[in-house]
Structure 1
Amino acid sequence: MKKTQITIDIELDENHVPEKMMWNAEDGGIEKQETKAVMISVWDDKTMEALRIDLWTKDMPVDQMKMFLHQILISMSSTYELATGEEDVAAWIEQMAEEFVQKAGIRM
C-alpha cells in the first residue's frame, strides 16, 4: 500500500493570525508553494458531520477571497455530480455560484 502526504506550514503572528502559509503535495509536484488561503473539509462518519479548517493570511485581498469562494462553489458542483450522478442538482449549485458572483460584485 502506498502512502502520501499533503502538508501545510503556517507562520503565525503574536495573535495567532496566519501571516504566511506554504503547502506541499509531493505526489503532485508541489513543494513549499505559498498560498493566501486554505479550506479543508473532512467527513466524520461517526458524528455524521463535516469538520472544517478555514485559514487565510491577514494580507489576503477581499476580492481574491470572493473569487476563491466562487471557484470552490463551482468545484463543489462538479464534485457533487461525480459523486451522485445528479446533473440537475449539480447545475443548481453552479447556478447558485453564478448568482454569488452577482451578489458579491465579483469582477471576472
Structure 2
Amino acid sequence: MAKSTITIDVELDEGRVPLNIQWKATESTAERPQQAKAMMVSLWDGADKAALRIDLWTQKMMVDEMADFYFQTFMGMADSFERSTHMEPLVNDIRQFAQSFYKKFQEQQMKDNKLEQ
C-alpha cells in the first residue's frame, strides 16, 4: 500500500499567533518546504459526524488576500462537490455564493477606501 505524508510547520510568536507557515508533501515535486500565509484544513470525523477544522493565517496576510483565499476556497469546494456528487444545481449555488461574496467584498473595499480619503 502506498503512503503519502503532508507536514505543516507553524512558527508562532510570543502570543501564539502564526508568524510563518511552511508545508511539504512526500508526493510534491518541490525540493523545499513551501511558504503559505494562510491555511484551512478540514477533516471529517465519521464517528461523530462532525467536521474538524484548523484555520490559521499569518500576521502578513492582508485583508484582500484573505478575500481572494476565501473566494478560491469556495470555488474549490464547488469543484470538489461536483466531482463527488454530480449535483449541478447545488454546485452552481456554491459558485454563485462565491461570486456574490467576492463582489460584496470588493464593494466594501471601495466604500472603505472612499472613507479613508
For the superposition of Structure 1 and Structure 2, which TM-score range results when normalised by the shorter chain?
over 0.9
- Structure 1: which 5+ residue stretches go unaligned? none
Q: Secondary structure at the match of 2:4?
A: coil
Q: Which residue of structure 2 lines up, in the alignment, with residue 48 of structure 1?
A: 49
TM-score (norm 1): 0.94
Percent identity of the aligned residues? Answer: 41
Task: Determine whether 1:13 maps to 2:13.
Answer: yes
Aligned residues: CA RMSD: 1.4
1:1-108 correspondence to structure 2 within 5 Å: 1-30=1-30, 31-105=32-106
Q: Secondary structure at the match of 1:70?
A: helix
Deviation at 1:26, TM superposition (A): 2.1
Distance in 2, matches of 1:85 and 1:99, equals: 22
Aligned residues: 107
Corresponding letter in the other structure for 1:87:
E
- Structure 2: which 5+ residue stretches go unaligned? 110-117
Distance in 1, matches of 2:60 and 2:19, equals: 7
Q: Secondary structure at the match of 1:51?
A: strand
TM-score (norm 2): 0.87
Deviation at 1:58, TM superposition (A): 1.0
Distance in 2, matches of 1:29 and 1:19, equals: 25
Q: Secondary structure at the match of 1:27?
A: coil
Distance in 1, matches of 2:36 and 2:82, equals: 28
Higher strand share: 1
Deviation at 1:104, TM superposition (A): 1.1
Once the two structures are superposed, residues 6-63 of structure 1 have per-residue CA deviations (whole angstroms, 9 ceiling, x without a partner) of: 0111110001100011100120223311110010000000110100000000111110
